[in-house]
Amino acid sequence: MVRKDNMNSSELRNKYLEYFVKNGHTRIKSASLIPDNDPTVLFTTAGMHPLVPYLLGEKHPGGNRLTNVQKCVRTGDIDEVGDNSHCTFFEMLGNWSLGDYFKEESIKMSFNFLVNELKIDINTIAVSVFAGDETAPRDMVSATCWKNLGIKEEKIFFLPKKNNWWGPAGVTGPCGPDTEIFIVNEKASCGENCSPACSCGKYLEIWNNVFMEYEKKADGSYVPLSQKNVDTGMGLERTVSILNGNNSVYEIDVFKPVMDRIKELASGGENIRARRVIADHLRTATFMLGDEKGITPSNVDQGYILRRLIRRAVRFARLISIAPEFLPELAKEYIKIYGETYPEIKNNGEKIISELQKEISRFDDTLQKGLVEFEKLKKYIQNNRISGKAAFRLYDTFGFPIEMTIELAEENGITVDKEGYEECFREHQEKSHAGAEQKFKGGLADNSEQTSKLHTATHILLATLKKVLKDNTISQKGSNITAERLRFDFNFERPLTEEEIKDVEKGVNEVINRALPITCEEMSADAALKSGAEGAFAERYGEIVKVYTIGDYSKEICGGPHAGNTKELGKFSISKEQSSSAGVRRIKAILE
């Protein structure tokens, strides 16, 4: 046990804020979930996000020491919701120094809070610090500070940028090396070389102290900031669940009444993932609908993400035999649970319920018909692939967000021509003169500079996988890009070895360093395929397509957009390699 007594969410919230106020911080209100100054992200993803102007030097009316609990939404890993730790909404406890204290004082305050206020056993604490690279030096200051506080050397890990660097929150902005604090779960070790970089479950992260001394510019360079800041973030739900020794965040107090009600409503079946998805999505929808900037379901931007969440909850409810008209009841529970802490949720209570009711009945009517249509489709599709046209019909006639069609397809071992879908969508939009820019990739703005770079990286990755794994039958089975990372699925029968992963990273970086230009040509699909271009779109044979060529290295049929030259990409690194479905592997990677 990490500590002796149980601790619920409001106790942790209050203790945290009181402690930092006692240490000279001004308590500030949680900002809206909809960011004010950042067109590259749809939602507030961290406590520092609304503070960007102040981290860059503007004066904050609350002074130079601040603390709060911030509502956050991250939808990039929506398909992992339902495991033990992922949620699309979470609360982040944070404290900031705007050019005031720096590493040592920040670490000491965190340590005292954990050991003296929360009474966590010091022997269960491990930390990681930045190992150093060409941007910033090895962080000996933080390491020495932890050592002097009594953390044993074997519990202090030096890790690279991939693990111990945070930010910027969008494409540009303040960022820097960090030191992360973990609770060690001795029961879950995967072997002697395990470290906080490993996801086996031995090291559970509870707090991240970021030393924001740099600003990342649009050209990818890091410029030192005139003021040195500290930005820390502690995920409330995760920390409560770890402190209480729970197996999953869905067991903590804020979820319990909702999870219990879902269990009661579901007539049989032990589908724990579906129950968690429903609990998560309804909570996020409640906060989005109840936000002070009041969003409602729609087909663009934030409203589209909200629509997707509600519709996905409806589908999962049907899956475990819950009539979707019961879902607003769960929102009522959340209004009770959070109404005191977030008065906007209480004040907007009626709107939350009525908007949910409207969206649920709008969709539930067509869901059943759409599912019948989907079953029919499965019988007559070719190459195990749903065409863009068919996916568009599911969207246009039955209200299936494309992500839902892809998810259903994945569950059935088939793929979807997403590019074809997007083309139908664009054509339809042009026809209906609905010109609004579409932004729905994982909650982030499409077509941004960073997504273009990651997109180019996926092309280089595919060509490199074929080379390193010596397998020319490898092709793309799916891809999803947010401003933070790329996700790429491809056919391959077994996990990659450590060495293969390293060779792939090395291969991609070599191509990046060769500074190859990326060019685009339009031609018929026939000509494109004959010229050796990669392209998994058999059903679009005969149409005019775009072909993107990366020097002598890669040629793919693709809608774009892409970077102009590989040298713009920065350093490529793989953060995860895992199974996606039978015979399909999934790689997640970032550009630093």
List interacting residues with ligand SER (CB under 6 A): 46-48, 94, 166, 208, 210, 231-233
Q: CB of 169: closest distance to ligand SER in angstroms?
A: 7
CB nearer to ligand SER: pick between 208 and 476 = 208
Q: CB of 110: closest distance to ligand SER in angstroms?
A: 12
CB nearer to ligand SER: pick between 210 and 529 = 210
Pairing of strands 65-73, 165-166: unpaired
Q: CB of 234: closest distance to ligand SER in angstroms?
A: 8
Tokens representing 550 are 């990366």
CB nearer to ligand SER: pick between 48 and 313 = 48
Please calculate the CA angle 83-87-93 and round it to the nearest 5 degrees.
130
Within 8 A by CB and 6+ apart from 210, the residues are 48, 166, 167, 175, 176, 177, 178, 230, 231, 232, 233
Q: CB of 483: closest distance to ligand SER in angstroms?
A: 14
Question: Distance between CA atoms of 220 and 173, rounded to whole angstroms?
Answer: 11
Closest residue by Cα to residue 555 from 590, 518, 586, 514: 518
Tell the residue number behind the tokens 């699909």, with chain if given.
525
Q: Are 549 and 519 in contact (CB under 8 A)?
A: yes
Closest residue by Cα to residue 109 from 64, 138, 67: 67
Q: CB of 78: closest distance to ligand SER in angstroms?
A: 18
What 3 state SS string does 352-385 have? HHHHHHHHHHHHHHHHHHHHHHHHHHHHHCECCE
Question: Distance between CA atoms of 79 and 429, rounded to whole angstroms?
Answer: 28
Question: Distance between CA atoms of 415 and 381, rounded to whole angstroms?
Answer: 10
Question: Distance between CA atoms of 479 and 458, rounded to whole angstroms?
Answer: 8
Q: Which strands make up the sheet holding 544-550, listed edge to edge? A: 518-524, 544-550, 554-557
CB nearer to ligand SER: pick between 96 and 392 = 96
Q: CB of 206: closest distance to ligand SER in angstroms?
A: 11
Q: CB of 337: closest distance to ligand SER in angstroms?
A: 24
Q: CB of 450: closest distance to ligand SER in angstroms?
A: 17
Question: Distance between CA atoms of 219 and 213, rounded to whole angstroms?
Answer: 18
Q: CB of 167: closest distance to ligand SER in angstroms?
A: 6
CB nearer to ligand SER: pick between 56 and 527 = 56
CB nearer to ligand SER: pick between 177 and 535 = 177
Tell the residue number behind the tokens 């729905």, with chain if given.
440
What are the b/e assignments for 232-263, b being 16+ CB within 10 Å?
A: bbbbbbbbbbbbbebebbbebbbbeebbebbe
Q: CB of 420: closest distance to ligand SER in angstroms?
A: 36
CB nearer to ligand SER: pick between 94 and 297 = 94
Q: CB of 416: closest distance to ligand SER in angstroms?
A: 32
SS3 content of the chain, % helix, strand, coil (to 5): 45, 20, 35
- Residue 39, Cβ density class (10 Å: 0-12 exposed, 13-18 middle, ≥19 buried): exposed
Within 8 A by CB and 6+ apart from 18, the residues are none
Question: Distance between CA atoms of 574 and 578, rounded to whole angstroms?
Answer: 11
Closest residue by Cα to residue 84 from 198, 208, 205, 241: 241
Tokens representing 215 are 């600003």
Q: CB of 66: closest distance to ligand SER in angstroms?
A: 12
CB nearer to ligand SER: pick between 98 and 533 = 98
CB nearer to ligand SER: pick between 48 and 504 = 48
CB nearer to ligand SER: pick between 231 and 237 = 231
Closest residue by Cα to residue 580 from 502, 446, 490, 509: 490
Comparing every residue's Cβ against ligand SER, the nearest one is 233
Q: CB of 231: closest distance to ligand SER in angstroms?
A: 5
Within 8 A by CB and 6+ apart from 368, the residues are 318
Question: Distance between CA atoms of 426 and 445, rounded to whole angstroms?
Answer: 16
CB nearer to ligand SER: pick between 139 and 231 = 231
CB nearer to ligand SER: pick between 182 and 553 = 182
CB nearer to ligand SER: pick between 181 and 282 = 181
